[in-house]
Structure 1
Amino acid sequence: MARLTKMGIPLILVVWSIMACSRYFTPTKPQYTQYGISGEIPADSAYIKYYSPYQQQLEAEMNRVVGYTDVDLTKPSDAPETLLGNFFADALLAEGRKHYPNAEFSFGTKGGLRTELQQGNITVGLLFELMPFENELVVLELPGQSVQQLAQFIASTGGQPVAGIRMKTKDGKPVDIEIAGKPIDLSRTYTLVTYDYLANGGDNSRGLEKPSKRIDLGKKVREALIDYVSQQTKEGKNINTQLDGRITRNQ
């Protein structure tokens, strides 16, 4: 006689029912279809109608002119100082000082600047192309020894975008370093404006690892560039960056 559960249902029937409800599927032959994306695919009018207002709004903002550059802002790879680098570092320092007035110098890297700016109108879209990343401004208080290490990195990599600091390089080493017009003092603490990617060790930068103090400003570098160019325009100025010898090579 089958053993009964408390509810009077044969136990063997319960077990069989559970097993019967468990199904296992095993693929017998893999099949897939590859769809190529090209101009041959007909446009979906309903989808286009949905996103068109957003596209128009985006394009209007990207095409908005915020300033004008009188010169081509270029970044030759073999030059220790470049027009694009000077423009970028000047903007970093100016915008950083709005939040931290005592900031003394700024630092970026050539690799972070993704395009050059040709003479003519500067649009929001061009500045997005120049700095497409979500990097944000950071202020670092650095001991003099750390600034010396940073200068060594700048010299050994053939020069990087800087403002507020001047140096000569010889055999890949920095000499005659000046900050705010005065020779570097290794016993002092200096205030640098840069961005979080570099402050976190990006681009193999050196000298930023152990700041005495770090302040994250919560403002994207791209926004800082837009504000900087817009401010120049409000003051009736075009961008007219020049090479001024902030980094030179000793032969």
Structure 2
Amino acid sequence: MKNHSRKVPKIKMAIWGIAIILFSACSPQLHKSSSFELLSIDPLTTIDKDFEEIIAPYKVRLDAEMNKVIARSEKELTKGGKGETALGNLVADLQKEFSQEKFNLPVDISVVNNGGLRNSLPKGDITVGNIFELAPFENFIYILELNAEDVKRLGEYAVKGKNLGLTGLHLEAKENNLNILTVNGEALDHSRKYLVAINDYLANGGDRMDFLVDLPRVKSSNILMREMLLDKIKALTTEGKKVDAAIEGRQIYK
């Protein structure tokens, strides 16, 4: 980590650059990059007053955008649960629906990592800011092609880690041994391929999912999971529906 002076306009420039992007007339194409720089800050860090004046108008606009109500929920949706969670089910469901609609592909399974969901969705009003808090990472949606053995490895991984939200994949396990696995209610078919919606972090081996790295990429999109959530949750409101999900027994551990 590099040492920096206690004035940190570079940090504020990065933060409020996001605000400028949000309110630009045209939305730019996002590009994945591994470049980054760690900047040291602490409670003694002072505010650059000149820069604060420059960004003040953007902050007002950003706050207004983040506080926009886009949906309502009957209850708080959290990551509480053992593997399967209400929040994980919601995000996995929306990712599957979005991917089928956006890419015109028959997606069989949708996978999200519960660790990547960084906040709950509150009961009552859901704002744009809530979605940014839920999905702060720049995770892009990918579609992978798996054979039956790959799907089985995915199920075994889910049983071991108990850290995935799943749609389309039902599994039952006892003492961490996978006993039952079905895809959309059917046994694995070793003669066919399965399409899986997942984020690029997991597809590229994140969370020790190395077995996904060399699998065929049917679609490597530049669509953020956060954008997907905003799109689908706004659509629910347009349809007169509230945001809701529950633990349904998609993953059963004994």
Per the shorter chain, which TM-score range?
0.7 to 0.9
Cα distance in 1 for residues equivalent to 2:106 and 2:45: 59
TM, length-normalised to structure 1: 0.79
TM, length-normalised to structure 2: 0.78
Number of the residue aligned with 2:157:
153
Distance verdict in 2 for CA 1:137–1:34, change over 3 Å? closer
Quote the offset at 1:42 in angstroms.
Answer: 8.0
Q: Among 65, 69, 84, which residue is 1:65 paired with?
A: 69
| 2:238 paired with 1:245 | no
Number of the residue aligned with 1:82:
85
1:145-181 deviation per Cα after TM superposition (whole angstroms, max 9, x unaligned): 1111111100011251011111112221222211122
| 2:201 paired with 1:193 | no
Cα distance in 2 for residues equivalent to 1:104 and 1:222: 21
Number of the residue aligned with 2:18:
none
Q: Secondary structure at the match of 1:237?
A: coil
Q: Secondary structure at the match of 1:108?
A: strand
Cα distance in 2 for residues equivalent to 1:126 and 1:218: 22
Quote the offset at 1:37 in angstroms.
Answer: 7.3
1:197-240 deviation per Cα after TM superposition (whole angstroms, max 9, x unaligned): 11000011254233234311220110001111001111000012
Quote the offset at 1:43 in angstroms.
Answer: 7.3
- Answer whether contact 1:167 1:248 (CA < 8 A) is retained: yes
| 1:1-251 aligned within 5 A | 44=49, 46-76=50-80, 79-98=82-101, 99-249=103-253, 251=254
Cα distance in 2 for residues equivalent to 1:80 and 1:50: 46
Letter in 1 for 2:186: K
Aligned sequence identity (%): 31
- Answer whether contact 2:75 2:244 (CA < 8 A) is retained: yes
Structure 1 vs Structure 2 CA RMSD: 2.3
Q: Secondary structure at the match of 1:161?
A: strand
Quote the offset at 1:38 in angstroms.
Answer: 6.1
> Larger Rg: 1 or 2?
1
Distance verdict in 2 for CA 1:42–1:210, change over 3 Å? closer
Cα distance in 2 for residues equivalent to 1:159 and 1:215: 24
Cα distance in 2 for residues equivalent to 1:143 and 1:34: 53
Cα distance in 1 for residues equivalent to 2:179 and 2:163: 13
Letter in 2 for 1:148: K
Of 119-128 and 190-199, deviating more is 119-128
Letter in 2 for 1:96: S
Aligned length: 216
- Answer whether contact 1:167 1:176 (CA < 8 A) is retained: yes
Cα distance in 2 for residues equivalent to 1:208 and 1:40: 42
- Answer whether contact 1:136 1:217 (CA < 8 A) is retained: yes
Quote the offset at 1:50 in angstroms.
Answer: 1.8
Cα distance in 1 for residues equivalent to 2:169 and 2:227: 24
Quote the offset at 1:56 in angstroms.
Answer: 1.0
Number of the residue aligned with 1:17:
none
Q: Secondary structure at the match of 1:94?
A: helix
- Answer whether contact 1:153 1:206 (CA < 8 A) is retained: no
Letter in 1 for 2:98: E
